[in-house]
Amino acid sequence: MKVGVLGATGYAGQELVRLLQRHEEVNDLYLASSSVAGEDYDSVYPHWLGQNVGILQDENVPDLDVLFCALPHGLTAARTSTFLSRNIKVIDLGADFRLNSAQVYEEWYKIKHPAAGLLKDAVYGLTELYREQIRGRSLIANPGCYPTATLLALVPLLRKNLLQTKFLIIDAKSGVSGAGRGVSLGTHYSEVNENFKPYGVASHRHTPEIEQELSRAAGQPLTVNFTPHLVPMTRGMLVTIYAAVQDGVKEEDLRRCWLEQYNGEEFIRILPQGTWPQTKFASGSNNAFLQLTIDQRTGNAILVAAIDNLIKGAAGQAIQNMNLVMGCPESQGITGTALWP
């Protein structure tokens, strides 16, 4: 396959490069960056020195089979119709096609949607939940990192009506790489180190994405309390969810639902009872780790999910989508366990 990456020098873009370099079906890799076109890739990321990754190109995209777009919101959508007309499959790691409604997108992202007419053609690319809808399609909206962890935990339980929809609290934590490679005061070392802080409280842009997919699973509109936090670590994501169960639902009902949904799934790890997810379990891998219990004092369920925000939350999942779209084995190029310690 001939494959391209727009935004190849960002953190998610670099993870795409790392994974695509070892993918057996990728024999031609086009890497683009608007800021450093013409430079060797290893001049931006010296750990690639001696591996002949190639020269970064401008963003005049050649003929490709698949194009990954790891760009800020608004930049991919404006060009997508041109790519599709050239029979290039587009996998967008940004937010432009995740929301079904252009109005909701414009409300949360504060720009006019550049290609609202394409929203109906986009498929939400959370592979374990929407595999058959993704297979063979041309425009895939790669989910956000927070939604990935959240939806893997909640969607199966809501589909089976095991949880009440009026009480859903999502308490999420992410490593600093989730903010991208750009420089900002909020991710400056001395601001983040030995610190722990919430951000985007009651206003984070992943909120409507989470609510859209949870409403789809529940078959009715619902809202959530979603609060993300920044943790002084490079990568990793851990999401703790509090939910009220339906009358008569027991812990074994919730666990059985997960086991049925994820039976045979290579990248989903439902941990033994008493073992709780840690970010290091997933670091450097495409795996997601899940655990749950019901608090006997309150009667509420506690669900925990851990992923690597740059892999299952971005690049690894994007390649999972490419494999489905192009008819490759779904796990090709993205297998492997976490780095430990």
Helix 11-20, helix 316-326: angle, nearest 10: 50
- C-alpha pair distances (Å), 325 with each of 132, 181, 226, 264, 334: 10, 29, 31, 20, 15
- Is residue 127 within 8 A of residue 324, CB to CB? The reply is yes
**CA neighbours closer than 13 Å in the CB half-sphere of residue 67:** 28
143 upstream amide cis, omega within 30 of 0 = no
145 catalytically annotated: yes
- φ/ψ (deg, to 5) at 227: -130, 115
Q: Which residues fall within 8 angstroms of residue 276, CB to CB, at 6 or more apart?
A: 291, 304
Question: What is the C-alpha to C-alpha distance for residues 165 and 106, in angstroms, rounded to an integer?
Answer: 26
Tell how strand 163-174 and strand 237-245 pair up: antiparallel
- Is residue 90 within 8 A of residue 27, CB to CB? The reply is no
Task: Collapse the DSSP code of 7 into the 3-class scheme (helix H, G, I; strand E, B; otherwise coil) and give the result.
Answer: coil
- Is residue 284 within 8 A of residue 108, CB to CB? The reply is no
Looking at 69, 145, 257, 328, which residue is catalytic? 145
What is the DSSP annotation of 177-243? GGG-SS--GGG-HHHHTT--EE-STTT-TTHHHHHHHHHHHHTS----EEEEEE-SSSS-EEEEEEE
Quick one: which of 197, 169, 71 has its CA closest to 83? 71
Question: Where in the sequence numbering do the catalytic residues fall?
Answer: 145
